[in-house]
Amino acid sequence: MDYTTQRLDRYLRKKYGIIPQSVIEKAIRNKDILVNDKKVRSSERISDNDKVYVHPNIERLFNNLSLSVNKNKNISVNQKHLDLFKKIIIYEDDDLLIVNKPGGMAVQLGSKINIALDVIAKAYNSELRLVHRIDKETSGITIFAKNLESARYMLEQFKSKQVNKTYVALLSRKVLFKNKTIRVKLLKEKDKVIIDNIRGKPAVTEFTFVANVSGKSLIIAKPLTGRTHQIRVHLASINAPILGDRKYGSTANKHLYLHAYEIVFKQYRTGNGLHIKAPLPEYFKKPKNILE
């Protein structure tokens, strides 16, 4: 099988079956998985010439987990899933397919996830490759490439920061700022992200106030870097967590009020600018035309 351009974690799933991402990440951290005798990230691109080492104990674990997941979860995509996928498509051309993902739907499979967007996407079109993802609880724009060339192109666009992303968030309280830029370093620790200006990686987000809604502030967030949970942690750092973000200080709510609203980048074939907006979920209850 040709694994050229495949991420390491996807290579492992192709070889061993459905493995939770958390298990893969732990094995990588413990150096039980190496590429060319070096520790790399799960997102590392694998070519045919690379040597991937997996410790025998981890191989056995992967094989057992794959059998267990397939047996116990009975993962399958039915017509209901496919109908939902068709409904959330907001843009499609020869190279890309963009969906408006519902909040609460996982993008990729994990240890406690029975179905995921990328699995449904593959059932819809086996050529689809995920090139941009958002958190499970976040709603909005998620991008799939329809061929290898556009996948490579989009991944490079994201890597070189040529993609402009805009999120909308409803905060758990009112804020006083009109415009605000937060620059702090973030460090991922287990399932959370913390501010750590010594060990962390640079993270920058620009925030703009939009309106007050029922005692809460609606804002626009533009992440200039792409760290895990970046917007959520930055807002929590100023004591204004996103409504429903229990992980970072908000009270419990049925939804996380964070939405990947808009994305702008140059198209692969033409170089023309592509500007996509994903309508806000109904539960945001936005004032009429506030973001139009």
Per-residue pLDDT tens digits for 11-21: 888 787 767 78
Comparing 79-159 with 164-284, is the CATH topology the same?
yes
pLDDT of residue 70: 45
Put simply, whether the predicted model's pTM sits higher than 0.85 gets the answer: no
pLDDT of residue 21: 80
Q: Which pLDDT belongs to residue 71?
A: 41
Low-confidence ranges of the chain (pLDDT < 50): 1-3, 67-73
Question: What is the bridge-based pairing of β-strands 179-189 and 192-195?
Answer: antiparallel
63-74 pLDDT, tens digit per residue, is: 665 544 444 345
d(CA 80, CA 229): 30
User: What tens digit of pLDDT does each residue of 171-195 get?
Assistant: 999 999 999 999 999 998 878 899 9
Query: Distance between CA 211 and CA 219 in Å, rounded?
Result: 7
Alpha-carbon distance of 49 to 177, in angstroms, equals 52
pLDDT at 187: 93
Under CATH, to which class is 6-73 assigned? alpha beta
Looking at domain 79-159, its CATH architecture is 2-Layer Sandwich (3.30)
Report the catalytic residues: 135
Give the SS3 label for residue 152. Answer: helix
Copy the structure tokens of residue 249. Answer: 């200080």
Q: Where are the domains of the chain?
A: 6-73, 79-159, 164-284
Question: What CATH superfamily is the domain 164-284?
Answer: Pseudouridine synthase (3.30.2350.10)
